[in-house]
Structure 1
Amino acid sequence: MPTTLEPARLPALATGFALLGSGGGGATTMLEIALRDSGGWPFTLFDVDDLDPATPCLGVGFVGSTILLSERLPGTDPFGRLIAAAERWLGHRVPVICSLEGGGVNGLAPFAFPGGRMIVDADLTGRAFPALDQMSLLVDGVGGVVVTCDTGDGGVALVDTGRALDIERVVRAATVQAGGSGGMVFAGFTVGDLREHAIIGGTARALRLGEAFLSAASGPLSELAARLGGRLLAEGRVSAVEADALDPHVIAFGIDGSEGAVHRLVARSETLAFMTDGRLEASAPDLIVVIDAVSRDILEVTAVSMGRHVAVIHLDGPGWWFQAAGRLRHVLPSAYGLDELDDRSGLSRVGGVSA
């Protein structure tokens, strides 16, 4: 049944999406501030089962540099032109909206810019991922999806293709032309498509995680991890920051554990894998959350720096990715060229249905 969200739940919602960013996805601060003064409260959040499966839906989110996005505010209606272009192409209005990415700043996007549409609790990733061809509708090959994006100076590009890689490349090129960041809209699918081809309940999970984090943030780190339903992987000081010799976008962080263990965190724009004394302990699509062990700030990869005292927490990734091996291969570390960091034990989870 629909859930009514009051303004008092905004901090928990933003915190939960920060956790689901797994070190990336962009800081939620900007949209959280915008939502504090929004006249849209209270928001009604619909489950997919609350709506007719034939109802058209669209997904919204930001693409490109999240650092630029925080420096160059998106305006009061960043998706209006993009939605209008998609609706002209489709020939009808789309009454339902969801998030493209269930982690980081994009988790909040439907609430900040709903455009008078119903918000459904579904998204296309379940956590932050770097590539557009990792969106669940594209991974499952759902037909009829069209994408619109900013090209800069009021321009809009529309991509209608059956090849996911086209969307990744064309939208990236348009975003560079737009100045490095901009809006993006997926359309041409229905609420019924979300039931099978999307991650369901991500906003509800963000609320649960955010409420648990805020209630336990000042307590022991092991208790905080347990309250989140996860496990504490490490606590210690960052002692090394190294770019990969073959791929400069891959960064490895050395962490000297407080109990003498040597840890290694591997990341791109999001965290990808974590090892202790050379033993792999967690990898994508599971979530590897890094927090400041003193302030308890949730850290993005760009904020993990030499000498910082951090804690690393493992949370289960969205179960949707483990329902088929064909899905999982898109989000393992090997999808980024890091074959040796795949958690092969995760393959035993294929067929699971946990959220």
Structure 2
Amino acid sequence: MGDELTLQGLHDLAEGAAVLGTGGGGDPYIGRLLVERELAEGRRVRIIGADELPDDALVLPSSMMGAPTVFVEKLPSGGGNVAAFRALEEHLGRRAYAVMPTECGGLNSMIPLMLGAQLDLPVVDADGMGRAFPELQMQTFGVLGVSGSPMAIASDHGDTCIIDAGDNKRMEQMARALTIQMGGASYISDYPMDTAEVRRTSVHGTLSLCRDIGRTLREARAAHTDPFDALTAMLADTIYSLGVVLFRGKVVDVERRTVDGFARGKALLQAVEDPDDVLEITFQNEHLVARRNGRVIAIVPDLICTLATDTGAPVPTESLAYGQRLTVYAISTPPIMRTPDALACFGPAGFGLTDPYTPLEDLLPVS
């Protein structure tokens, strides 16, 4: 049962996850190496669809929490995820049938793959974000009525804790405080669900989508064709439907700082052909809004991705640097992410932005 992940599939999935990470979610390169180590030691990663789960299954999502910049300076050991997962199983008094991602973007696409290999458990091909978001309550799971608590949190030093919060926002606040005390990075297992809840509340097929994105970019590079055209054509047949180049230019300024466990800041790009044509991206771990000459041209929860102009390779927020030639590429988010309840949770207002949500397709210039 399930689709066993190959080494090439892992590489493709990691690159696709970096694209859907929208600048955040942590660099999946580090997580990919951890999964590679598991495969090299003879373990396997099995990916299954939500429809393959037994009706009575318990599924526990797994991820890391913290500012992406911390993971660059402090490499994860790979042991805390098992500790958090087992602590939640013990608290619930029940063994889980499968693990799944909370988010498919960035490093957190890799953590459940590593855990699945470590514990020989299948990984569900779905997640609760369809991208990456910086806060735990920003999940389709919670929007559609699943409680994130009880959750387990663990450090790299053997500390574990169970959080049973009154609501998902409070869970985020408590877990964030603990994560800061754990050195800015922690492992968590939250949103325990049964099969029916997984099928009803998750964004389906996102690990497969990551793998398809990575494969599309790799094959375009090998064929010396435009990676952005190839990506746009591939996305047209998915639940994301629309991918479009918004801007091409060079980075002329980056403001980035780690505050309250988040990487916050702005990046300014200047068009090569016209120095008066500028694009500003605001981010909180992930890119939130893109403004071209002061006008909003893409906004959360639609995806704003920074990709290398020559190769299409994703460039995360922690790697943004002066002089880089980047293409800003936007992807429309799936319908499950655009409901009024979803937008109230992880739309612009959820990040303190005063700009209203306008779908990507409505912001594009009329041709």
TM-score band by shorter chain is 0.7 to 0.9
The answer to whether structure 1 residue 287 and structure 2 residue 303 are counterparts is: yes
Aligned partner (choices 126, 148, 152) of residue 148 of structure 1 = 152
Deviations 1:204-244 (A, max 9, x none): 11011111111224533652553453211111122333579
C-alpha distance in 2 between matches for 1:26 and 1:277: 29
Q: How many aligned residue pairs are there?
A: 344
C-alpha distance in 2 between matches for 1:12 and 1:71: 24
The answer to whether structure 1 residue 305 and structure 2 residue 343 are counterparts is: no
Q: Secondary structure at the match of 2:80?
A: coil
Classify 1:293/1:331 alpha carbon distance in 2 versus 1 (closer, same or farther; 3 Å). same
Deviations 1:117-175 (A, max 9, x none): 22111212111101111122223332484100025642211012341122111111111
The answer to whether structure 1 residue 256 and structure 2 residue 262 are counterparts is: no
The answer to whether structure 1 residue 53 and structure 2 residue 69 are counterparts is: no
After TM superposition, give the deviation of residue 264 of structure 1 in Å.
2.2
Deviations 1:62-85 (A, max 9, x none): 001333334333324322222222
Q: For structure 1, list consecutive stretches of 5 or more residues without a partner in the other structure.
A: 349-355
C-alpha distance in 2 between matches for 1:120 and 1:140: 18
- 1:95-114 correspondence to structure 2 within 5 Å: 95-114=97-116
1:54 maps to a residue whose letter is D
After TM superposition, give the deviation of residue 309 of structure 1 in Å.
1.5
1:239 maps to a residue whose letter is V
Deviations 1:91-124 (A, max 9, x none): 1111211012110011011211211222111212
Q: Which residue of 2 aligns with 1:193?
A: 197
The answer to whether structure 1 residue 326 and structure 2 residue 328 are counterparts is: no
Q: Which residue of 1 aligns with 2:232?
A: 226
C-alpha distance in 1 between matches for 2:173 and 2:287: 23
C-alpha distance in 1 between matches for 2:171 and 2:286: 21
Q: For structure 2, list consecutive stretches of 5 or more residues without a partner in the other structure.
A: 236-242, 363-367
RMSD over aligned Cα atoms: 2.6
After TM superposition, give the deviation of residue 347 of structure 1 in Å.
11
The answer to whether structure 1 residue 240 and structure 2 residue 244 are counterparts is: no
C-alpha distance in 2 between matches for 1:42 and 1:58: 19
Q: Which residue of 2 aligns with 1:15?
A: 15
Aligned partner (choices 62, 81, 89) of residue 83 of structure 2 = 81
Note if contact 1:7-1:42 (Cα within 8 Å) is conserved in structure 2.
Answer: no
Deviations 1:174-206 (A, max 9, x none): 111211111001153112111111211110110
Classify 1:161/1:222 alpha carbon distance in 2 versus 1 (closer, same or farther; 3 Å). closer
Deviations 1:20-49 (A, max 9, x none): 100001111112122223245553211111
Classify 1:346/1:327 alpha carbon distance in 2 versus 1 (closer, same or farther; 3 Å). farther
Q: Secondary structure at the match of 1:117?
A: coil
Q: Secondary structure at the match of 2:282?
A: strand
Classify 1:65/1:276 alpha carbon distance in 2 versus 1 (closer, same or farther; 3 Å). closer
Note if contact 1:5-1:41 (Cα within 8 Å) is conserved in structure 2.
Answer: no
C-alpha distance in 1 between matches for 2:187 and 2:88: 13
C-alpha distance in 2 between matches for 1:67 and 1:59: 23
Q: Secondary structure at the match of 1:205?
A: helix
Classify 1:66/1:254 alpha carbon distance in 2 versus 1 (closer, same or farther; 3 Å). closer
2:346 maps to a residue whose letter is V
C-alpha distance in 1 between matches for 2:263 and 2:112: 30
Q: Which residue of 1 aligns with 2:67?
A: 65
Classify 1:291/1:333 alpha carbon distance in 2 versus 1 (closer, same or farther; 3 Å). same
Q: Which residue of 1 aligns with 2:283?
A: 267
